[in-house]
Amino acid sequence: MKLKKQVTVCGAAIFCVAVFSLYLMLDRVQHDPTRHQSGGNFPRSQISVLQNRIEQLEQLLEENHEIISHIKDSVLELTAHAEGQPALPQHPLNGSWVLPPESRPSFLSVSPQDCQFALGGKGQSPDLQMLAVYSLLPFDNQDGGVWKQGFDITYEPNEWDTEPLQVFVVPHSHNDPGWIKTFDKYYYDQTQHILNSMVLKMQEDPRRRFIWSEISFFSKWWDNISAQKRAAVRRLVGNGQLEMVTGGWVMPDEANSHYFAMIDQLIEGHQWLEKNIGVTPRSGWAVDPFGYSSTMPYLLKRSNLTAMLIQRVHYAIKKHFAATQNLEFMWRQTWDPDMSTDILCHMMPFYSYDVPHTCGPDPKICCQFDFKRLPGGRINCPWKVPPRAITDANVAERAQLLLDQYRKKSKLYRSKVLLVPLGDDFRYDKPQEWDAQFLNYQRIFDFLNSRPDLHVQAQFGTLSDYFDALYKKVGIVPGMRPPGFPVLTGDFFSYADREDHYWTGYYTSRPFYKSLDRVLEAHLRGAEILYSLALAHARRAGADGRYPLADYALLSNARRNLGLFQHHDAIAGTAKEAVAVDYGVRLLQSLTNLKRVIINAAHYLVLGDKDAYRHDPAAPFLGMDETRSSQDSLPERTVVKLGTSPRFLVVFNPLEQERLSVVPVLVDSPHVRVLSEEGQPLPSQLSAVWNSATDVVPNVYQVSVLARLPALGLRVLQLHKSLDGHPEAVPLHVFPAAADDFCLENQHLQACFLGHTGLLQVSHPPGCCGNHRP
């Protein structure tokens, strides 16, 4: 309504300006002294210009009339709707409720510009559409030799003579925030040591690089380190040695997570980084989620990232893209007709993100360059050829062997810049491992870089170092499409890592926790809205001193626990049982805390006299509609006990639209009446509550109230015990089950059921088919 008023005023203003301009123009024509002096003889050309202007003004005037009459119509229409009573079902004497028509449209008109994507065909079509790629592939899983899932790669030694190969070896450590161990156990056993060593070892040589992605771990570590160490970390980030990649709270699962939670965990991580380190991530790193959604590149693009990397893609797709040099592409949304959603994506070509599968096609050789596996260590190479420490005596031979792998891998990509990740799960947790990897690789790099005839430049790099070099080489600014790179639309589900090992069971495993995730998400959104509204009211009333501001910490904590659960072993259900329980405990704790936030905010908002507000944590003003006794128990709905005084029900609508809703409430008596806050009776229906198909829960009834709920608002309802035989209070009889088929019908519909199964057999309007039963 407010907006319409503004439009009215604005329209009227335009109208006035137009009339006034016309007046001024005519006035000027009549009173211009210079024109009088010239005896009123205007040159012909000037007269015609004036005539044109007057015609234009007249036209403008007419248009203004039209606008104003439109506005008048709209205002009249809205006023007519607003004057009507809040439409609730009427209860006529014949005993059936009649639903009123919608009071006013609850949707906004959509401008054609908003849906350009729906027009289709305007932009160029993508080079690669994943559905088409799937139908193209034979999925024959042929043995490719040393690169089992690929093919032989060959090259000419002089291929890099004019343009040398530029190699970026990117040290990384994949830290799952819960999998075999819980989040805390991993932190204490490994992650804190990795990050502590990182600070020391990176400072030993400015040529060293490292990347980190899980902010959940990083923030926990940050809370436990000294100011000097924090300053050192900021320096390492500032000078480009340490890069925070993606910067989400976790590396989320992309199949089960809801986009709300994906965004939430990304915001939580990015805000933490901005606040504590002063950095914004530029590149995405997702080496372990089991398949990739096209939503993630969209979210990363909108978060200002310019490039991203993915790894767990079906081996047949990897092979196909490797053969066609399409492993790097611009990933575009299917609904986007132009390039506004494009983000550069690098797909890793081989089986895994571990060292044996990242230097080149032959894992037997690459494993020899994982210096954590040097003889005498805890792990070795399954291909039976161990790594050897790099010495002056063997560096030439070792470097040549590795360069051969680099060159072969490079043949799968379009540019002469090569990305070689160097890490694995929870790597670099001991200082010796840092030394083994960084010292041996530096010796190889020094050798390669000292031999111009090899036409290679190798170094440690971060992920963005690689993308920057790629962009520099092709001569365009980061974020744009490198010439010749394909555009791809679609996603990378389902994923198989080998043979017929499809990672699809996790779409439905541990469904209880997948459901709890959505419940927490909904409560988090509701609590955030109510807390913000209540706090805004309290501040305006000068009552924020009495409001429980500490609730904000509960909100933050819930966001972080929800974020943690988006991890690719959490919501996916792939973590060990004890770890799943740990997540469950966190989710339940946050759910309970959010209910407190909701109760506190609703309490404040429903009070007519805000001065009467007193927060007493020991005696919450409201109860909640359901409770859970443990992390793995189903919710138990609260039964409202009716007595001599009315019980009040506060209903919250978290949607930004008014809605007509059926609100179900459990009560302990069939004698119940529901009134609005003002005492107006509301239509309701009483139902039995069932233990099983035939057992009724004694003394518990569900009253379903039809109530209109304001947008982003609360509505108070009253529940009264009614002892005077109102028609709402119908005694309930359960008849013994019979095997005969039976039908139910009203004036609109007839539904027939099979007696022995209870399944719906057929339904059709009454009277349509006589007594005939098909």
In whole angstroms, the minimum distance from the beta carbon of 681 to Zn ion comes to: 57
CB of 569 to Zn ion, least distance (A): 6
Give the total of residues touching Zn ion (CB under 5 A): 2
Per CB under 5 A, which region of 215-223, 228-236, 288-296, 693-701 contacts Zn ion? Answer: 288-296
Please give the C-alpha separations between residue 5 and each of 11, 416, 436, 481, 674, in angstroms, as whole numbers.
10, 62, 73, 47, 37
- In the block, residue with structure tokens 């107006």: 680
Please say whether the beta carbons of 520 and 558 come within 8 A: yes
**CA-closest candidate to residue 555, choices 518, 604, 598, 585:** 598
Least Å from the CB of residue 686 to Zn ion: 51
52: which 2 tokens?
């044109």
**Residue whose CB is less far from Zn ion, 288 or 404:** 288
**Residue 300 and residue 306: Cα distance in Å, rounded?**
8
Closest CA to 333 of 367, 364, 370, 293: 293
Q: Which of 484, 607, 434, 430 is nearest to 534 (CA)?
A: 607
Helices and strands per DSSP (H, E), number in the chain: 19, 23
Q: How far is the CB of 289 from Zn ion (least distance, A)?
A: 8
Which positions from 45 through 104 interact with Zn ion, judged by CB under 5 A?
none
- Measured from the CB of residue 174, what is the shortest distance to Zn ion in angstroms? 6
**Taking the complex as a whole, how short is the minimal distance between the CB of residue 425 and Zn ion, in angstroms?**
7
Distance between CA atoms of residues 238 and 278, nearest Å: 9
Q: Is 312 helix (H, G, I), strand (E, B) or coil?
A: coil
Q: Tell me the closest approach of the beta carbon of residue 378 to Zn ion, in angstroms.
A: 20
Cα angle for residues 441, 447, 453 (degrees, 5° grid): 135
Among residues 254 and 288, whose Cβ is nearest to Zn ion? Answer: 288
- The answer to the question of residue 253 lying near Zn ion (CB under 5 A) is no
Stretch that binds Zn ion, among 286-294, 374-382, 585-593, 766-774 (CB under 5 A): 286-294
The residue (of 288 and 424) whose beta carbon lies closer to Zn ion is: 288
**Between 176 and 517, whose beta carbon lies closer to Zn ion?**
176
Q: Tell me the one-letter amino acid at 261.
A: A
| Measured distance CA(604)–CA(613) in Å, rounded | 6
Contact 266, 567 (CB under 8 A): no
Stretch that binds Zn ion, among 170-178, 469-477, 644-652, 765-773 (CB under 5 A): 170-178
DSSP per residue over 408-442, as a string? HHHTTSSSSEEEEEEEEET---SHHHHHHHHHHHH
Q: What angle do CA 119, 122, 127 make, to 5 degrees?
A: 115
Give the binding range for Zn ion (CB under 5 A) out of 43-51, 152-160, 284-292, 522-530.
284-292
Residue numbers annotated as active site: 288
Q: By C-beta, is 176 or 362 nearer to Zn ion? A: 176
CB of 193 to Zn ion, least distance (A): 18
Residue closer to Zn ion by CB (options 244, 602) is: 244
Choose one: 270-278, 285-293, 449-457, 733-741; the region binding Zn ion (CB under 5 A).
285-293
- Rule CB under 5 A: say whether 354 interacts with Zn ion: no
Closest contact distance (angstroms) between CB of 287 and Zn ion is 8
Q: Which stretch binds Zn ion (CB under 5 A): 40-48, 85-93, 110-118, 173-181?
A: 173-181
If binding is defined by CB under 5 A, does position 176 make contact with Zn ion?
Answer: yes
Say what the alpha-carbon torsion angle 49, 53, 54, 57 is, to the nearest 10 degrees: 170
Decide: helix, strand or coil at residue 456: strand
Is 127 or 497 the residue whose CB approaches Zn ion more closely?
497
Task: Rule CB under 5 A: choose which of 243, 254, 288, 354 binds Zn ion.
Answer: 288
Residue whose structure tokens are 């002089």: 158
Select from 424, 151, 433 the least CA-distant residue to 311.
424
**Cβ–Cβ < 8 Å for 465, 209:** yes
Which residues of this chain interact with Zn ion, rule CB under 5 A? 176, 288
